[in-house]
């Protein structure tokens, strides 16, 4: 790679390959898996802490009715719980239960195992070393976007 390297081409290649990778990992079904909206809402509550249904709907750019249906499904499965908003008792906030955290952890582990199986069956040691060296660079790139 020299000075004639086109950063636009690098950006395009990374965008395409990372998008395909994420799509394939997300599409792989895990037994007892959540729907995409359920998974997204549960992960957002886990990362961001308790939130109202309205706030979650705004963050995900979906209708409050759609978010309400998603949260109801999660609540029925015992993955989230409702509590009065400590700042305004007229509102309700949703938070992740221990069972919800367990489901998220299981999902992460299952996906990691699936990627590990793919890596172990189709890549040379040298290729694995290149992928390992690229991981911190991809993370740094993500932090700069």
Give the start-to-end residue ranges of the domains of the chain. Answer: 30-144
Domain 30-144 matching CATH 3.50.50.60: the answer reads no
Q: How many residues does the chain have?
A: 145
The tokens for 94 are 């949703």
Q: How does residue 2 score in pLDDT terms, banded at 50, 70 and 90?
A: low
CA distance 80 to 104: 12
Task: Compute CA distances 136 → 12, 77, 132, whole Å.
Answer: 19, 36, 8
> What value does the CA radius of gyration of the chain take, rounded to a whole number of Å?
19
**1 pLDDT more than 60:** no
DSSP state of 117: H
Per-residue confidence at 32, pLDDT binned at 50, 70, 90?
low
Angle, helices 125-144/7-27, rounded to nearest 10 degrees: 100
pLDDT at 77 over 80: yes
Average pLDDT over residues 56-66: 93
Residues 6+ apart with CB under 8 A from 25: 111, 114, 115
């Amino acid at each position: 790679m020299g000075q004639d390297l086109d950063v636009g081409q690098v950006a395009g290649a990374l965008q395409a390959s990372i998008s395909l990778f994420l799509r394939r990992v997300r599409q792989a079904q895990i037994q007892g898996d959540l729907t995409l909206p359920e998974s997204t809402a549960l992960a957002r509550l886990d990362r961001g802490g308790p939130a109202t249904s309205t706030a979650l709907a705004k963050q995900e750019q979906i209708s409050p009715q759609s978010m309400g249906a998603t949260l109801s499904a999660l609540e029925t499965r015992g993955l989230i719980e409702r509590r009065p908003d400590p700042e305004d008792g007229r509102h309700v906030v949703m938070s992740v239960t221990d069972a919800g955290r367990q489901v998220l952890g299981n999902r992460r582990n299952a996906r990691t195992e699936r990627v590990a199986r793919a890596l172990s069956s189709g890549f040379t040691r040298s290729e694995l070393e290149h992928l390992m060296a690229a991981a911190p660079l991809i993370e740094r790139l993500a932090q700069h976007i």
